[in-house]
Structure 1
Amino acid sequence: MTVSPAPASARFGNARTWWEVGLVLAVTVGQSAVYSVLTLVRRMLVETPLGDQQAQLNTARDDLALWDALYRLLDVFFDLALVGLVIYLLWEPGRNALRRIGLDFSRVGTDVGRGILLAAAIGIPGLALYAVGRALGVTVAVVASPLDAAWWTVPLLVLSALRAGLTEEVIFIAYLFDRLRRVGWSTWTIILSTAALRGAYHAYQGFGAIVGNMAMGVVFGWCYHRWGRVMPLVIAHTLLDVVAFVGYPLAVALWPSLF
C-alpha cells in the first residue's frame, strides 16, 4: 500500500508549530532547564561532594528589604507575562483558551479537592525521596529563604509559589500537550517527554530532584489527560511550593530542635 506524502499545508503547519514551541521554550522553561542542567554539571565538577552543597530558594535580590521586595515583585510580574504570552498563543477565534485548558473557576470545588489530594500524593513521597537523596549524597541541601526580612516576605513567597505553579503547569502541561498533539505525538510520548523536561528544569537540586520531578510530571500529565483541566495541577503545585517556601522555614524557626 502506497502512503501519500503529507500535504504541503500540513508540513508547513507542523514546521510552524515546532518553531513556535522552540521559541517559547527558549524564553521560558526550556531556557531554565538548560541552565539547571549546566548547574548540575558544574556542581559535579567541583571537589565538594554533591551532598555537601546547597541550593538557595528565592535568594535576596538586594541587601535593602524594600528594594529586594520590588525586584522580586518585578520578577513575578515578568514571569507571569510569559505565562500570559503562552495563553495568548493558545487562544483561537471562538475558543477561549482559559476554558479550553481548564484554567478557570467553573469547577472550583472539584479543582480544589483534586489539587489538595494531588499535593498530598506528591508531597509526602517527595519528602521521602528528598531524604533518601540526601542520605545517598546525590541531592543538594535545599535552603529556603528566611522569613524575618520584612512583613511582606511571606506574601511575596506565596506569590512566588503561585508564579511557579502557573509557569510550570501552563507551559509544561497545557501548552506542550496542545502543541505536541497537533504534530501527532501520542499521549504517553507527550507525558514522558514533558516529565523529562520538568526533571531537567530542577536538575540544579541534584539527581533526587530530577527523579522526583519526573515522577510528578508523569502523574500531573496523566491527570491532565484524564481531567482536561490544568487548574487542579496549578493548585497542587502552588500548595507544594507554599509548604517548601514558607512552611519549612517557619517550622525550623519554631521548632529548631526537630531539624
Structure 2
Amino acid sequence: MSVNDTAIDAPLELRGITKSFGAVTAIHNFDLRVEPGEIVALVGDNGAGKSTLMKIIAGVYQPSGGEILLRGQKVSLADASAAQAQGIEVVYQDLALVDQQPVYMNLFLGRELTRGVWPFTVLDRAEMARQTQKLVDDLDVRIPSAKATLSDLSGGQRQAIAISRATHWASNLVLMDEPTAALGVAETAKVESLILRLRERGTAVVIVSHNMEQVFRIADRVTVLRRGTQVGTMRVADTSHNELVSMITGLAG
C-alpha cells in the first residue's frame, strides 16, 4: 500500500488546527491522524481545549487555521449538519435522546423512515423497529426490545442506544465526550465493551475521557492537550499512568 493510499484511508486527519476566540487561543497547531478501527483518547485537564477540538471536528466551531481531511480529502465543515453529511456522529454526555419515545424512534430521530406518497406519507415504524433490532443484536446491546420506551432503560442501556445510533449513521467517525462519566462500574464495563466492538467493525473513534484507567483499557493511542497545546501523542502501550498525568499537569513525573 502506498503512502497516498494510506492517506485516503484515514477517516480523520487534522493538520495544524488552530482556534482563537478574540485574543484567546484555545487550540494551537494541533495535528492528529485517526486510522480505521482505531480508538484515540483525547485527555487533558479542564480548560485544556478538548471540548473545543471536538466541536471543531463536529462542525460546531470552524478552525481559525489549519486543515481537516476526511478520507484524504480536505473539507470545510460549516456546521454540525455538514459534519453529519460527511459521516461524523457525536455521542454527547447528555445523550440527546427522547425518554418518552421507543428505542427505534430515538435511533432514527430526525431521520425517520416513511412510507406512502406525499402528502399521504406515514412513519414506517415497523421498518425502523426492524433495523434497530438488527443493529442492537449485531452490537450485542442488551435491551428488552427495540420497541421498549427509552425511560424504562437503565443509564448504561440508554448510553448504549446513543452509541448505537452514532454507529448506525457514522460512515466515517464517531466522537464521544465522556460517554461513561455518569455510569457505575458495571454499566461502564458494558459501554466500554460496545466501544471495543466498534473497533472490531472498523469504526474510527475519538473519545474524550478523564478516566485514565479507561484510556488504558480501550484506547489504542492517546493525545494530551494542555492549555490548548498538544503535548504529545503516543501508543497507550508505550506510556504509563504516571507519564500521562505528568504530561497533563506539566509536572515532572
TM-score, length-scaled by structure 1: 0.27
The structure that is helix-richer by fraction is 1
TM-score, length-scaled by structure 2: 0.27
The structure that is strand-richer by fraction is 2
